Structure 1
Amino acid sequence: MVVRGRRRRHGRRPGVEDRWLREADPDRREFHLSLGCAVETLRIAAGRFGLACRVVTPPSGPVVARVEVGPGGNPHRDVALFDRITERYTDHRPFRWTPVPTPVVERVRDEVADFDVSLRLVREERPKRAIAELQAAADRAQMGSEAYRRELGRWIGNGALGDSWPFARVGRAAVTHLNVGGREARRNAALIESAPAVAVLSTADDDRGSRVAAGRAFQRVALVASAAGLAVHPMSQILERPARRETLRGLLDLDARPQHLFRLGFADGSRRHTPRWPAEAVTVDGGATAGEE
């Protein structure tokens, strides 16, 4: 099975490329991370049904990742993770001040190590406060850009956040025409400071293969967290511009390049899923490739 990203053409269903956020993600870092999440989900699902997967990430060319599927998988290895694929969700609410259990931390570290991805788990107040301040500055800068707000508003208007049609339209108008950066900065900074742990995934290199690997690692971390009753919340704004990304790297004294930042902890109350894209919304050609053209 091949999944290729294609630009939208008249009369054609949107492809992966149409979900690239050009203003928020100019270097496609998040685009490649997302493909890595999709690739790992495919690998886990294939393994559950006794199929083995080999993932290839060519260094260049239109194909970002190729998944070769064949017999020989272990259907028992990732059963718990497979069962969480449809349940995993992103939680934007404040987390309880309950430490992440040590066994979960150890499992998460083991998962990311399999991909040559490093994990920095920030639990101390001072560095979390510094990250929160950097997040607030990123929010104000992003929301100060009209092009960024138009892009965000377009996705909100399409219902990407799960709002009903009237609320989605109102949200689109508000985000597009009002600079709500101050409000978002205060809200997201508070979310970071209140979380028991803020996690950063990093890689030695910054090529697209490394980013795909970070996405694969994050998908497994998110599923492990879900299986343990924890929630995750990616917060990407700091990493969306090179200068702030380097500031975070220096702040945490990282040798590697930060690829993904997210909150990890326990949330109270009922879970709320945003809608999943239907399978028919993705352009598919026979084979297992996620790419860009």
Structure 2
Amino acid sequence: MKTMAMSIKFTVTLTIFLLIGVGLAGLFMQPHVSYDAWNINKSSFPANASSEEKLTFLLSYAILAPSSHNSQPWKFNVSGNQIDIYADKSRWLQYADADKRELHISLGCALENLLVAAEHFGYETNVTYLNEGDLVARIRLEQKSLTAQVPAQAPAQAPAQDSRLIDAIVARKTNRNAYLDRPVAEADLQKLQDSAKGFSKDQGIQFYLTSDPEIRNKFRNLEIVADQTLYADANYKAELGHWLGQGVMGPTGVQALATQLAVVFLDVGPEETRKDAELVNSTPVLGFISTAENDSISQVKVGQAFERFWLEATALGISLQPMSQILEVPETKAELTEILSTGIGGLGYSGYLQHIFRLGYAEPVEDHSPRRAISEVLI
């Protein structure tokens, strides 16, 4: 009885604390988030502006890339006909992403969006991958003559048949819902595989897609262990809570701050673990990406290949969600690598495991995730 009374007293005290904290935070610390970046329109390309203005417009598509915790860990420098992409280490997830794998993949996604936009607006590009401090890639861009393609008064953009991928950049959303009990058509899976073939052939990146129930069950069990491990880590919870409180991962304003306090101070692990297990159970296709080398440049290229794959999936009406928890815990990462290497499901797996995602059909997601303005990411 005494224990129950103490438990009730603690719950009441904590509830009051959370309510007061939310109220004060809402008054004094509510972060500003914006969805304006998603309102980009191809017809707004500044065809008659300076080179730097046109390249800055291309970055409007780069910043729509996905990133872990929607941390958006990128900075850009535009000079003449060149764009440099930098890692913004202030947005590095030091506990969830200790080896910076997810940071580099996020930067690769932004790079691929930039290249898709550049191709659409008639640019030839040359990418140099770098590992010089925070500088990860240098892109030189030369705009091809479009006088034979479009009238002089028209916006300088590529032919209409090339618009599906750039349109997919704006349409892309992360769908964290349960997926429908509907298999993904083999023809569509082949199209998705084909979208990443250039990376697979030339850069040692391999995609593995599987509907094998044995792999799914083993994956679900590891997902449970990974979630339990992560939510038992106070540093991980504080880091996750920070990004939730910024309003960049779903709820905004006071609701975001309430979610932050709940994650940090309450035991939300069991419920989140249950939800993730149910998501895996509903998944028709699991995807894994490996590399021949385990370095930052390979991870940036994984991000490129993954984003190209995701854009193709978006164009096909297929939903996708990255699932990185297993890779954030060394023990579950090693166990999953061992499972995939045994030949279950006939995957023919090899290399270093870099990224995981789930794929399928789902009820549409209404909202995008907020984005920083271009002015905030230029240096």
Q: Same fold (TM over 0.5)?
A: yes
Deviations 1:204-248 (A, max 9, x none): 111111101110011111111111111110111111133322211
In structure 1, the gaps of 5 or more residues are 7-14, 286-293
Matched-pair contact (CA < 8 Å) for 2:126–2:140: yes
Shift of 1:43: 0.3
Does 1:89 find its partner at 2:178?
no
**In the alignment, what sits opposite 2:116?**
44
Shift of 1:121: 0.8
Q: Which amino acid aligns with 1:18?
A: S
**In the alignment, what sits opposite 1:238?**
326
SS of match in other structure, 2:199? coil
Return closer, same or farther for 1:115/1:270 CA change in 2, 3 Å cut-off.
closer
More helix by share: 2
* TM-score normalised to structure 2 length: 0.69
SS of match in other structure, 2:196? helix
**In the alignment, what sits opposite 1:11?**
none
In structure 2, the gaps of 5 or more residues are 1-54, 60-72, 76-86, 146-156, 342-348
Structure with more relative contact order (C-alpha pairs < 8 Å, separation 6 or more): 1
Return closer, same or farther for 1:162/1:187 CA change in 2, 3 Å cut-off.
closer
Between 1:101-110 and 1:269-278, the stretch displaced more is 269-278
Trace 1:59-74 onto structure 2 (pairs within 5 A). Answer: 59-72=131-144
Shift of 1:30: 0.2
Q: Which amino acid aligns with 1:272?
A: D
Between 1:248-257 and 1:74-83, the stretch displaced more is 74-83
Shift of 1:81: 0.6
**2-side partners of 1:226 and 1:174: how far apart?**
33
Matched-pair contact (CA < 8 Å) for 1:136–1:184: no
Q: Which amino acid aligns with 2:107?
A: L
Q: What is the alpha-carbon root mean square deviation over aligned residues?
A: 2.1
**In the alignment, what sits opposite 2:158?**
75
Return closer, same or farther for 1:42/1:269 CA change in 2, 3 Å cut-off.
closer
Return closer, same or farther for 1:197/1:57 CA change in 2, 3 Å cut-off.
same
Matched-pair contact (CA < 8 Å) for 1:125–1:193: no
**2-side partners of 1:275 and 1:66: how far apart?**
26
Matched-pair contact (CA < 8 Å) for 2:310–2:320: yes
- Aligned residue pairs total 276
Trace 1:204-283 onto structure 2 (pairs within 5 A). Answer: 204-253=292-341, 254-282=349-377
Trace 1:102-117 onto structure 2 (pairs within 5 A). Answer: 102-116=186-200, 117=205
**In the alignment, what sits opposite 2:129?**
57
Percent of aligned pairs with the same amino acid: 34
Shift of 1:276: 2.4
Shift of 1:71: 2.6
Return closer, same or farther for 1:270/1:149 CA change in 2, 3 Å cut-off.
closer
* TM-score normalised to structure 1 length: 0.88
**In the alignment, what sits opposite 1:101?**
185
